[in-house]
Structures are given as C-alpha cells and as structure tokens.
Structure 1
Amino acid sequence: MSAKKKLQVFVSSTYKDLMVERQAAVEAILKAGHIPAGMELFSAGSESQLQTIRRWIDESDVYMLILGGRYGSVDPKTSLSYTELEYDYAVSQDKPVFAVAITEAALDAKIRAEGKDVVETDNPKELKLFREKVLTRISSFFSDPKDIKLAAHETLADIQARYALAGWVSASDLPDVSSMLEEMKRLRAERDEAASQLAQLKAKTEKQAARPSSRWSDDEFKELGSLLNKLEINTKVFNEMETDPPLKLNVLKILDVMRDNLITGVTNRANVSDHESLLFHNICPKLEMHELAAVEKVSGMAWQRYRLTAKGKALLIYLDKRKHAVAQISDKQSSVPDCPPPIKADTAPHSSTPTRRLRKKAEV
C-alpha cells in the first residue's frame, strides 16, 4: 500500500490586492489534503528575506502563482519584482509550476469595487512582460475565488499523478530505508553517467556551435540591434552614488559593454555582484528570447549559468564590424588634406623647372 503523500505548495502573489484570492487557494490546498506555504510566514523586502523565500521554495514540492493586476515591490538590484524573482527561481529549480491569472473583465470589476490600488501604475510594462512569460507555461484564468479553488484542486491532482514528488508522509508509512538507499545508489550512478555523456556532448557541440556570422544576415542583426536598442530598463546598479536617480539604459548597450561577463557566463549564485545579478535575472532572459543567450545547469550545483550563444557572439562581431567601418570612414574624412590653389602658367618659376633645363641641354 503506497503512502498518502501531502504536497507542500508554495503560494506566490502580490499581497494586499489578492488577500481573498490567496485565502481561496489556501482553503483549496488544505481541502485537497496538502500543505500551503507562502509569504504569510515572512515579509518580503530584503535580501535575507529573499533567501528565506528561496529556501521555502526549495523545501516545497509545487509552486503556485496567483497573478492579479499588480507587479509588486521591485528589487533594486535586478529591477524585477520579488514575485517575478520567486517565479523565476521556482522555474530554475525545475519545480512543478502552475499559475492562475485574473481576466481583464474581473480586473475591471475589481477596480470598480476596490479602487485603483489593485492595478499597476508604476511598472505596467514590466507586468505585461511578466504576464506574457507566465502564460507560456501551465496556467488558467480566474474571474472569482471559485475559479482559483477549482484550478488548484484539478492541477494538484494532475501534478501528483504525473510527478514522483517527495511530499510529506506519516512516519508509519515510510518505505523500507534499505530499498531507498539502493534506489538512490542506482539513480546516482545513472546521473553520473548522464553527466559524463552530457559533458562529452557539450564539448562536441561547442566545437560545432561556433557558427559563422554568415548564418545570420546583416539585415537580421540590424533589425535585432534596433529592437534591443529600444528595449530599455531603469536601474541604479551602475550609479556611482546611491542617492543618484536610476539610469535608463538600453539592452544593446549593456550587451556591448558587459560582453566579457556574458561570454564567460553569469550565475545566480548567492552573494554575486549587483552587476552579475542584473545580467542574470533581467538582461539574459531578454537575450534568451532572441536566442542570443542560453541558461545551463551546472552539474552537481543548485545554481545556474547564463552564457551568450553562437548567435549572441555573432551579433557582437557584427557590432564590432559596424563600429570599425564607421571609424574607417571618419579617419578617411579627417585625413584628406586641403587642396592647394592651382599655379597659374604666367606665375610659375621657369629657371628651375626640369623642362627648362632639358631644353638648354638639347640646344647645346
């Protein structure tokens, strides 16, 4: 007889505008026989609290996101909301993730009932991008709390059937430890073998991945550069003084200036620099959308690394060629001397010209 598992479900959302919806999710999780966990246990806002959130996500089996009309508090280091950072971290840890997003009609009704505090006014563009990212994965929509309860009940049942999750079980239902150890030994051996094969495949792929920039046309890179040039973020990471206002920088400029970091790779390890944190959490996902960067999981490590792809490096080569061409044109224009005025025939010196000397020699 298999043990009855209780899954720990981490519930993530903005807080004040979705208190009723969070309560509906908690009730549905409890009714399904599982364990809810979320921000009620702590308050978001500092790095130590963000680390606490990540630890709770690590210890949870499933991540559930309730997405309303607010983007939430923004982390000054990454320019992303804490809710989006939680979501990205859960995805990076391969947690089963599902989301319920409010419908436009429901949001309009909520605004009429509760006021404009339930709608985003500071970072609407960031909320739109976050919502688009969320809806590419398992998600559904809600108009009222009943929809959230139904989605939680159905999705958790499906996840429990499809995934071999650890969960929580009663001590009396624990399986034989020796068989578990044998299974762990077998899985470890399979993992090591798979890691070895992956390393060999990666080494082979990297040799073939240095595709020449001719695989992508100049027109494609020109259009891509224009797009990245228009994609701007506000950040204080590059400020010399903490009191200075945020800088508005475009992604193309950051890609060009921080190329060395992006080529060697940036990670989401703890205690990385603010620059690396901004690159990993904010810039690289935007580059990844255009196949300019890719995330790789380091074997045996909980953290991940983003690196530029062959296409990303080819874009840098294209930018360098463009800059070199512009510099050459500028050099040519600056090196052309001013033309002296033409010499008139009646003012030209005669006694010392070669023609005069040759004529005298001929007469002799």
Structure 2
Amino acid sequence: MTKKYQIFVSSTFQDLVEEREQVIKAVLEMGHIPVGMEMFSAADEEQWKIIARQIDEIDYYALIVAHRYGSVTADGTGYTEKEYDYAVEKGIPILGFVIDDSAPWPRDRCESDTKSQQRLSKFKTKVKSRLVNFWSTKDDLHGKFSISLMKSITGNPRTGWIRADQVTGVEVTKELTRLSSENASLREEIEKTKKKEDSQLDEIRSAILILNANQRSLGARTREKPTWADVTYKKITLADVFHWVAKGLIVENSSEDVGKNIALHLEGTKYLEHYPIGKNVVTDILADFAALDLVEPSKKKHSVSDTASYWSLTKLGKQVLKEFRRVLLEEGIQASRTITEEV
C-alpha cells in the first residue's frame, strides 16, 4: 500500500513566495500532499483556528526562515512562530530550514525594525535548538528539503493517508467485524439502559400520581388545644405529607418525629410535644408510603434500650423526593422570571 503524507509548509509569506513554491513542488514530486495557508490571513484569529485544525491533521511540519519575522499576534508572538510552537506542542516531526547568514539576500526582504530583528533572532535561536538545515538559494532549499523529508519518512514514519480501495485484507476484515460486533453490543447496552431509565421514570410518575390522588384528614394537637376533641382537621394530599416528612427520612427518622414533622406543617411550632398526631395515623401514613415502596424500616443499628421505630427512604422514595424538589425549583425560577417581567 502506498502512503501519502501531509506536509505543512510554514514561513513568512511575501518575502519567501518562490522558496515556498520550491518546497511545495518538492512535496508534489515525491507524491505527497502539501498544505499551504496562502489563502488565509495570518492576522485573523478565526483563520488561526482553521490553521490549527490543519496542523492537527498533518504528518510533518516544514519551517522556512529567512530574514523577516512577519506579522504578530496581540501578545507580540509572530504567526509563523505560533504555528511552529503549536506543531512542537503536538509532537509533529519538524523539518527546519534556516537561511545561511552568509547567503546573499535582498535588503528589502529583511527586517528593518529593531524590535522585529530581536524577535527574529530569538526565534532562530529556538529553531536551531533542534536539528536544522541551512540553505542559501531556493534551488539549494529544494534539494535539501527533498532529502530531509525522505529521511524523516524513513526514520519517523507517520500515519499518513491510503486510498480506500487499497485498504483490503484479512486483518482489515477482522477489525471491521470486531468493530461491528462492539457497536452492536454498545447499542444493546444503550437500549437496555434507556428501557431501565424509562421504567424508573414511569415508576416515579406513577407514585406521584397516586400520592396526589389520595387525601387524608389530618389534625394536630397544640398547646392551646391539647385534647383530640378540639383538634381541627384538614384535607391534605399524601403528596404534601410525603414532601413534608421525606427530607427527614433521607437518612432515617422515628415514627414519632415523622408525626412531629406533619404537625409542624399543620400548626406551626405550637404543636404538642408528645404525639401531636395520633400514633395510629402516623402508622397508617407510613404503611401507605411503604405500600408504594417509598419508605422502609431503617437498617441503622440502635441501642437495645431504644424501642422507637425508625424509617428511611427507599431508592424510589429518594427519586420521588428529587422530582418534587426539582419541580419546586423550576416553579421558583418561573416565579422569579414573572416578577422580573412585571418590574
């Protein structure tokens, strides 16, 4: 199979047009794919994103440096240097070509600004810290680049590109079969997970509907009305009762404290300290919640002398509480938006 490699050709532009053409020509002569960014504006940050994506996909990075530093970014780094640094960061093999200081060069293609000259000097020092080739003419560059690329391909082969019609054989067939089987297994797992989630969601909705559809007449004794004959009863849905007591059942709570939670919401803090709600009423309510698999006897250990009954939320109970809280939070957001609109 014949591989083709992508080579990114990087340099300052206007001063090295002919030199770039020679390198691109050499790439094509060797049957590979040159990537040049001549059609993009080097000073455009949006175009830099495109350039970076191109560098992500290349196999080799070729840098040509002469006597210009080129346009710079907002932080003062040249775009050519930025490309170079990005390629180094990505671990892409670098083919560096720096002009020989003794080579003749037109003065109008040299940096005249002192600051740019200093930046260029530092950049050259950075590039020379790796293995580089020195060139003097475009023809010299053409030859040295061809040899350097050939050596890099031989010594450091990359992924490259292959025609689709060349990718055949037993190994490829095996890999495709494996991937197909793996894909089918993943789809099956996703489908099972989705069905499980749908089933859980149906179970949560069903429990909430049942809680909302059932009411209980509840009343609590207070310090002002300590006798049952004086208690005022109200029609309360089991959904409200569950929301009142569920927070205390996340870990566990005693039957007596469950009764106090209900009394707190019915009468506020003036409820009677001991059994403000009838013991049998609390037992019935907990039995209703247990029938819906929302609560269960607590599994925590207590001292032998502690004869109280303790309850905690089941997994379903926690999910129902979570749904109640989510709805309340969403209603709060909606109310906040309405107030803002009115203001």
TM-score, structure 1 normalization: 0.46
Higher relative contact order (CA 8 A, sep 6+): 1
Structure possessing the higher radius of gyration over alpha carbons = 2
TM-score, structure 2 normalization: 0.48
